[in-house]
Amino acid sequence: MDRAYDIIHQVAAAKEDPQAADDLVRQYLPFIKAETAKLIRRPPQEGQDDELGIAMFAFHEAVLAYSRPRGAFLPFAAAAIRNRLIDFQRQERRHSLTLSLDSPACSGEDSRTLLEQLDTGHSEIDEFQQRSAAREEILDFSAQLKSFGLHLTDIAENCPKQERTLQACLQALSYAKANPVLLEQLITTHKLPIGPLAAGSGVARKTLERHRKYLVAILLAYTNGFEIIRGHLCQMALREGGRNGA
């Protein structure tokens, strides 16, 4: 009973204090690993299993979303972890149905593999499958966010909730990615160049301002190579958009 009481207060503190939230994730890493192991049917390895990084994000999201009417926190967090990992496994199964990139693309004279024929700009799926979602990568991303005055909890709160808004944000992100000068401006000034981004992408300035924190996080992931984290943030937005409709 005392332990249940303590964790409720820890979660409440973590909702208000990003550092307390990070500490809570570290404190409950054994629990997160145990829940991950139930899905992958073996102990997850730090630095090797993408599932562990996704489970850590899910636990962090559960902290943000929890309220007492939802019942005990740990079962709530366990369900959040399970749902995220199931989504990830479904995505991996879809990927496994595609042809191997190392197999010949055709049986004719051109015996190059699909990997050799793909433009390097389209290799993100392969990188996603191969890069590790190490705990260190999550902490590195958190440190990057802090340098911009942001925390993981800010991103979850600022995630687009409507499908139409999500598509507008993705349109703006696509424009920013295609125009490196905007990314350089973001890194240099630590501010989202909303004016040029709105003018170039055609997305309303008000929409960009409302979701500034989410956009900054995604662009930081682009500029610093956090493909797995970026994919998770996009997936989180798609899930919210699916729940709320257009």
Closest by alpha carbon to 65, among 15, 25, 10, 13? 15
Region 164-177: mean pLDDT is 89
pLDDT, mean of residues 118-138: 47
Task: Determine the Cα–Cα distance for residues 183 and 231; give it in Å rounded to an integer.
Answer: 18
Calpha distance 120→180 (Å, rounded): 18
Dihedral angle sign, alpha carbons of residues 142, 151, 85, 93: negative
Calpha distance 158→151 (Å, rounded): 11
Better pLDDT: 202 or 135: 202
Angle (CA) 208 142 32, round 5°: 115
Q: Are 208 and 172 in contact (CB under 8 A)?
A: yes
CA distance 44 to 34: 8
Contact between 85 and 55 under an 8 Å Cβ cutoff? The reply is yes
- Between these two residues, 15 and 5, which has the higher pLDDT value? 15
- For 207, the enclosing helix (H) or strand (E) is helix 205-210
Measured between alpha carbons, how far is 64 from 67 in angstroms, rounded to an integer?
A: 9
pLDDT at position 33, please?
92
How far the first Cα of the chain sits from its last, in Å, is 43
- Under a CB-based contact definition with an 8 Å cutoff, are residues 94 and 73 in contact? no
Token pair belonging to 191: 């501010």
**Helices 163-178 and 212-224, interaxial angle, to 10°?**
40
Q: CA torsion sign, 155 to 160 to 166 to 169?
A: negative
pLDDT band per the 50, 70, 90 thresholds, residue 36:
very high
Looking at residue 197, its pLDDT comes to: 94
Highest mean pLDDT: which of 102-111, 156-165, 220-229? 156-165
* HSE toward the beta carbon, residue 185, CA cutoff 13 A: 13
How confident is the prediction for the chain on average, in pLDDT? 76
Quote the tokens at residue 29: 């890493």
Token representation of residue 59: 């636990």
